[in-house]
Structure 1
């Protein structure tokens, strides 16, 4: 029983340390072919965590809606960035917490789309690997 509670505590701690989008916000409109600065926020950790990297992808929802689109099952589409993730505090925006900005060029497709992050990190004293996927629905339009 102790092992069960330890696993639940570890899972809760890992889930609380996920990355999310500061910019763009849900429903934002981005012009196809444009270069946009994307800001990724990282929740502060109460335990030791090591960022292993992230990927940022863009998938067009061809059905006209992204309501049932799940990047963890349906794919991330076009990968706009993959590599290191090293979020830091920004002294000009301390309320935003840990964050990192990425300048990305968005492809030429139009319509509702899902911008997603796949994040890999090692959490806690034992460096338990965790994998998180989060997304935001945006509109690709001129």
Structure 2
């Protein structure tokens, strides 16, 4: 019973520390060929955590429908925005943003018009035993 409580506590702690895409906002209209900043925020850790990696991708939604898309099973797509160490930091000029990291990406000029998705795969090690935790995040945008 005690080990179950420890596992539940660790799971809740990890959920509270997820990284998410906060910009562009869901429903944003972006233009093919233009540059966009993808901002990923990491909530403050309640326990020890070590950021390991982020994988951010961009893709058109299959058949223009993003309702069933899941980056954990469908992948992040063929256009990689970033793949590497995730090192969110505080900006003293913008303390309200908390921990974040920005990534710049140019929407491919030949992108399909319609709904597309930015997806994030995030890996971190949590707690004193560095338990690996993987989470995903996504935001649907419209490309014109």
TM above 0.5: yes
Q: How many equivalent pairs are there?
A: 141
Structure 2: distance between partners of 1:64 and 1:53: 29
Query: Residue 129 of structure 1: CA displacement?
Result: 0.5
User: Following superposition of structure 1 onto structure 2, how do residues 1-142 of structure 1 map, counting pairs within 5 Å?
Assistant: 1-78=1-78, 79-107=80-108, 108-110=110-112, 111-141=114-144
Once structures 1 and 2 are overlaid, which stretch shifts more, 45-54 or 62-71? 62-71
Deviation at 1:69, TM superposition (A): 1.0
SS in 2 for 1:125: coil
Q: CA deviation at 1:104?
A: 1.4
Task: Please report the TM-score for the alignment, with normalisation by the length of structure 1.
Answer: 0.94
SS at match of 1:9: helix
Return the TM-score normalized by structure 2. Answer: 0.92
Aligned equivalents of 1:106 and 1:9: distance in 2? 40
RMSD: 1.1
4+ residue runs over 3 A deviation: none
1:80–1:106 CA contact under 8 A, matched in 2: no
Distance across 1 between alignment mates of 2:96 and 2:121: 24
Which whole-Å CA distance do the structure 2 matches of 1:73 and 1:137 have between them?
Answer: 16
Retained in 2: the 8 A contact 1:59–1:75?
Answer: no
